[in-house]
Amino acid sequence: MDFEPTSQKPPTHAFAVPQIDFAAELNAEQYAAVTAPAGPLLVLAGAGSGKTRTLTYRVAYLLSQGVPPGEILLLTFTNKAAKEMLHRVEELTGYEPRRFWGGTFHSLGNRALRLYGEEIGLSPRFTILDADESETLLKQSVEARDKLFFKNKTNPRPGPLFSVLSLARNTQQSIETTVRHSFPQYRDIEHRFADFAAHYEKAKREQDVIDFDDLLELWLRLLREREQVAAYFAHRFRYLLVDEYQDTNPLQAQIVDTLAPHHCITAVGDDAQCIYSWRGADFENIMTFPERHADTVIHRIETNYRSTPEILAFANAVLEAQPSGRHFDKELRAARPRGEKPYVVQAIDEREQAEFVLKRTRALIEDEGVSPSEIAILYRSHFVALEMQLALARAGLPYQITSGVKFFERQHIRDLVALLRFVYNPSDTLAWQRIAVLLPKVGEKGAQKIHAAARDHAALLRADLVTALASDDVQSKVPKDARDEWPHFCASLAEVADQLRDTPASPALAVERALEGWYGDYLRGAFADYNDRLDELKALAGFAARFDGIQELLAQIVLLNGETADARSAESGADHAAAIRLTTIHQAKGLEYDVVFLIGLADGQFPSRRAIDSGDIEEERRLFYVAVTRAKDALYMSYPQVASRPGPGGMMNTPSRFLKEVPPELYETLRIKRRFNY
């Protein structure tokens, strides 16, 4: 269908829309998408192809055709993205952002519910809970049903439990299905969660509050249950534009479909960059868009302005390995001149891999003049970057982790290191307090009282303090809520202590014993991303395996923390811009760097072992594609032949299956010898 004016009269504007030469300002692919007739449009914008520019000019084009700004609805995933696009629209057309409905799904859901929430029984006085408040109310709701639920340390705490319920709501799946797919550590108690969820919903209604997920769920309910409200929105917003459509979850996709019975939707995205299923994004939304919206016109924007032809040839080969019929065909074409082929590097182990990256990085900075901030080291999971952080810290090269905190500063790593410190030196009260307060109802003062009692009892019996913790006299000082798990806590500390008393002592096995005991159980209940954190703690065990004694390990960790603190100080000052970037691939999406190092490209690390075991690796392949397309000028991919593991030796790695799928003529192989050759 062509654009239809809202009335027979010319549109009334406070000013005329400036004339824009769309053909001159856009390439042919962008121009075709921007100026396409109204109707369902699926714009497949490849990596580095100017997606945001296309979407912004689409809004400007609608305005130039006489569409009033009030009839345009722009849905994005961040308020920052919406503001940037609408600011650019203002520069192009003169229309102020306030004249549009534009923003995140959640912000616009709030706006809709403020207007019409009473239609579905929502109080006009409703307030929105923040994340902490939502977890508190859920905790109260659970305890109203089962006072003892959270006293079992293997049960999820309120935060992880909320994550389970939230993911189920956003994916529109049952709680049981959600647990089995994403939270297998809770399978034994998944049957309890539906009842907890029902009482949480009841508590919210009684208090006239809603949570973040309600902004979507209730908006969709409003549109489905009140035809007059749905008709109002459909009439008012005759043109919907959705950014990053591949990242929509089922709730969001259903909202878009319900808002637009007229099917005038411009969905902009890239199926090859759908990498967020773990937070609810559904690959099927973009794949089935043409089926849900008859006569969809697909526009492909494939001219890439970011990367060299050689990098894009490699990226295209990654996509060619996708199963037939499970993706949209596309081929990135380079607008830049030729460069170097991507490099593949096989290292003996993680340390040699890190040393290679370090030496090559220095050469890039010192000899080739590459800015450190234009060098990124990407990885699939945090634990893969441990050796890289150690190498950079020792070398004194400032680096910035853009996807979290440094390895030894992560909460669970600090917890377990504190446990080791205390067992090794029971007089270390700060280490004791860190682990003791993880017990129910044990605060800092309570931890001090317990430690004092154990110290006195140990002196009286001439026993060590760890053994004294299990005595009746000490247990009498423990809060009632913590007494059920106190014997397990003490026994676990004793097992770690026994491991450290052995000759020779094994710090790696001490870490393993801690994970097999009380702290492993605590970890299961405390964190929704339990499996990822467990992988990181296993990496800590691998790191510990290189030390003959616990004293040497603990001293090295302190020294490394001091070195990373120096690096952090450099980052916070004038040298912040001169820091090398370390980040997970997920966090790097949307960013670009002159040089990219992709480390840990081995089966079991990338794709992850869990993806391999589940038989579902397609999202991992898309993640590989995203990693490759972050590089502008140079791409280095490396993997260790031997993965560090606790105990003797290690585990042999094979190159990632994704790397094996790429024809070898599309990359250069670099071999590491005693002297590095580049």
Element (H, E) at 142: helix 131-145
- Dihedral of CA atoms 615, 621, 622, 627 in degrees, nearest 10, equals 140
Pull the structure tokens for residue 385.
């970057």
Does the annotation flag 194 for ligand binding?
A: no
DSSP-derived 3-state class of residue 195: helix
Residues forming beta bridges with residue 651, ordered by sequence position: 643
The DSSP result for 34-92, as a single string, is: HTPPSS-EEEEE-TTS-HHHHHHHHHHHHHHTT--GGGEEEEES-HHHHHHHHHHHHHH
CA 630, 634, 635, 636 dihedral sign is negative
Angle at 386 between CA 380 and CA 387, to 5 degrees: 115
Q: For residue 513, give the 3-state DSSP assignment.
A: helix
CA nearest neighbour of 74 among 256, 258, 289: 256
What region, left, alpha or beta, does residue 635 occupy, with left being phi > 0 and alpha being psi -120 to 50 degrees? beta
What phi and psi, each to the nearest 5 degrees, are found at residue 631? -85, 135
Q: Is 272 annotated as a binding residue?
A: no
Q: How far apart are CA 448 and CA 443, in angstroms?
A: 9
Q: What is the Cα–Cα distance from 211 to 217, expressed in whole angstroms?
A: 10
Cα separation, 242 vs 248, in Å, equals 9
At 372, the amino acid letter reads: P
Q: Helix axis angle, 79-93 relative to 51-64, nearest 10°?
A: 50
Single-letter code of the amino acid located at 538: K
Ligand-binding site membership of 45 (annotated): yes
Judge contact between 255 and 111, C-beta under 8 A.
no
Q: Is 46 within any annotated ligand binding site?
A: yes
Tell me, what amino acid is at 326? R
47 is in an annotated binding site: yes
The three-class DSSP label of residue 49 is coil
**Strand extents, DSSP E, 248-350:** 265-269, 297-301, 303-304, 333-334, 343-349
Triad 277, 278, 284: Cα angle to 5°: 15
Q: Give yes or no for a contact between 398 and 547, defined as CB atoms under 8 angstroms apart.
A: no
**Residue 612 and residue 619: Cα distance in Å, rounded?**
11
Distance CA 457, CA 463 (A): 8
Known binder of ligand: residue 52?
yes
H/E element holding 367? none
Is 574 annotated to bind a ligand? Reply is: no
Separation between Cα atoms, residue 100 and residue 83, nearest integer Å: 11
- Known binding-site residues equal 45-52
- Known binding-site residues for ATP equal 45-52
